[in-house]
């Protein structure tokens, strides 16, 4: 097992290629050097570390599983998962930034964009020269995006957008927004809206207690006029945005494990050195039970994402496989963070340790990209054949 491969109880890194191991170690070192020293201060200040964007671009993590032809790294999906895992060991906000840029902005441009859109946007987004966001959720349509009410209408060579999006990661920062709206026939289409377009504003949402080192915004469109060529030509209907979610949910399933590893490792170290009743608290059965639960769940989560990654690389993955991994791994990461916080007693609530930050972040991760319960219903529908959404 290599020095940087991290928590790997079952030696699962034997299933990784040399390139995948190298990617993991490189990103792990980047997180140790560039993210861990600064992230707590950003979290407390409620700011995203913008200086990281160019460095992350140089590292090759944006759209890392997209082709080299467009300036991307052309890595396997397993390598992309490992990138998410290592980044989220730092902070869910940084992983969110990377998920949105790669899976929710570059992916739809790659999969549904014109050649001109791909050639213009993908290299700039891959390098971090430009930032993107993805606007699907609306104030009144979260879990049920099929009901969205943002509208588009054609006017000569232009398209006019009216409506609002809510809870949009990177919104205020973004140079380009991928926006999903219904056309005059009520069909969902994707549009690229550039920062500075008259009628488009992206105010930041403040007072968050979760994902504080991440910018979350509202997007407002008031007779916002964009060129008709900014429509994504390759898709229509709800399957467009939902296909993008498959990519991002996959990364989150890996990412949540990074967060769980961070809180598990912090609490294990703490338990070995914290003395109560004349011995380390790690020597108490109840504490060991919690630590073993964490290790066990993280290891099962690793097996889950490794297999889902293999299926994705083989072109055999189904969205429901990804739902299972997102649902399980975020759930166990949150439980791991809560147990770690408990083991650390009063120290667990401070910024001296990463535990409470991860715990608070994971509350958002549990909700976004399909809530835990929505993924339960997706799996329930898959095994029964009966949709239970309404």
Binding site for ligand FAD (CB under 6 A): 100, 134-137, 142-143, 167-169, 211, 216, 364, 367-369, 371, 373-374, 377, 389
Q: How far apart are CA 35 and CA 91, in angstroms?
A: 8
Q: Per this entry, what is the length of the chain? A: 390
Contact set for ligand TGC, span 325-364 (CB under 6 A) = none
Show the site string, 183-222: x = touches ligand TGC by CB under 6 A, - = not: ----------------------------------------
Q: How far apart are CA 252 and CA 372, in angstroms?
A: 12
Contact set for ligand TGC, span 143-182 (CB under 6 A) = 143-146, 169
Q: Which range binds ligand TGC by CB under 6 A, 12-20, 54-62, 111-119, 141-149?
A: 141-149
In sequence order, the β-bridge partners of residue 296 are none
Q: Are 192 and 178 in contact (CB under 8 A)?
A: yes
Q: Which range binds ligand TGC by CB under 6 A, 119-127, 273-281, 284-292, 368-376?
A: 368-376
**In sequence order, what E strands does the chain have?**
132-135, 151-155, 158-169, 176-182, 188-194, 200-201, 216-227, 275-276, 279-280
Residue 137 makes contact with ligand TGC by CB under 6 A: yes
The three-state (H, E, C) secondary structure of 276-331, written as one string: ECCEEHHHCHHHHHHHHHHHHHHHHHHHHHHHHHHHHHCCCCCHHHHHHHHHHHHH
Chosen from ligand FAD, ligand TGC, none, partner binding at 242 (C-beta under 5 to 8 Å by type): ligand TGC
Show the site string, 11-40: x = touches ligand TGC by CB under 6 A, - = not: ------------------------------
Residue 282 makes contact with ligand TGC by CB under 6 A: no
Residue 99 makes contact with ligand TGC by CB under 6 A: yes
Q: Which range binds ligand TGC by CB under 6 A, 22-30, 112-120, 137-145, 261-269?
A: 137-145
Chain centroid offset of residue 15 CA: 24
Q: Are 135 and 178 in contact (CB under 8 A)?
A: yes
The residue within the footprint of ligand TGC, chosen from 67, 139, 233, 237 (CB under 6 A), is 237
């Amino acid at each position: 097992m290599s020095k940087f491969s991290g928590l790997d109880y079952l030696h699962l890194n034997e299933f990784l290629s040399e390139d995948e191991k190298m990617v993991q170690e490189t990103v792990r070192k980047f997180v140790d050097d560039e993210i861990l020293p600064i992230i707590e201060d950003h979290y407390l200040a409620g700011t995203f570390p913008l200086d990281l964007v160019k460095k992350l671009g140089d590292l090759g993590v944006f759209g890392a599983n997209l082709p080299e032809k467009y300036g991307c790294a052309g890595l396997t999906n397993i390598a992309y998962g490992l990138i998410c895992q290592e980044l989220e060991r730092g902070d869910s906000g940084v992983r969110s930034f990377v998920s949105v840029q790669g899976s929710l902005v570059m992916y739809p441009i790659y999969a549904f964009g014109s050649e001109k859109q791909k050639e213009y946007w993908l290299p700039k987004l891959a390098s971090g020269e430009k930032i993107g966001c993805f606007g699907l959720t609306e104030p009144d349509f979260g879990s049920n995006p099929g009901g969205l009410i943002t509208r588009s209408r054609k006017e000569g060579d232009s398209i006019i957008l009216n409506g609002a999006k809510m809870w949009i990661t990177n919104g205020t920062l973004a140079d380009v927004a991928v926006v999903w709206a219904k056309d005059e026939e009520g069909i969902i289409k994707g549009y690229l809206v550039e920062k500075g377009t008259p009628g488009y504003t992206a105010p930041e949402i403040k007072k968050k207690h979760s994902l504080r080192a991440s910018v979350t915004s509202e997007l407002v469109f008031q007779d916002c006029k964009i060129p008709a060529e900014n429509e994504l030509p390759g898709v229509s209907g709800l399957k467009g945005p939902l296909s993008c979610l498959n990519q991002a949910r996959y990364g989150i399933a890996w990412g949540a494990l990074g967060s769980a590893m961070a809180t598990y490792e912090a609490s294990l170290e703490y338990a070995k050195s914290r003395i109560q009743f004349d011995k380390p608290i790690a020597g108490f059965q109840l504490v060991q039970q919690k630590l073993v639960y964490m290790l066990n769940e993280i290891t099962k989560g690793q097996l889950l994402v490794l297999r889902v990654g293999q299926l994705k690389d083989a072109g055999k993955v189904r969205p429901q496989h990804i739902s299972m991994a997102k649902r399980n791994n975020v759930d166990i990461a949150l439980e791991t963070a809560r147990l770690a916080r408990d083991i650390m007693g009063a120290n667990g609530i401070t910024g001296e340790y990463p535990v409470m930050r991860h715990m608070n972040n994971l509350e958002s991760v549990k909700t976004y990209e399909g809530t835990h319960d929505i993924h339960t219903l997706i799996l329930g529908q898959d095994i029964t054949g009966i949709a239970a959404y309404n």
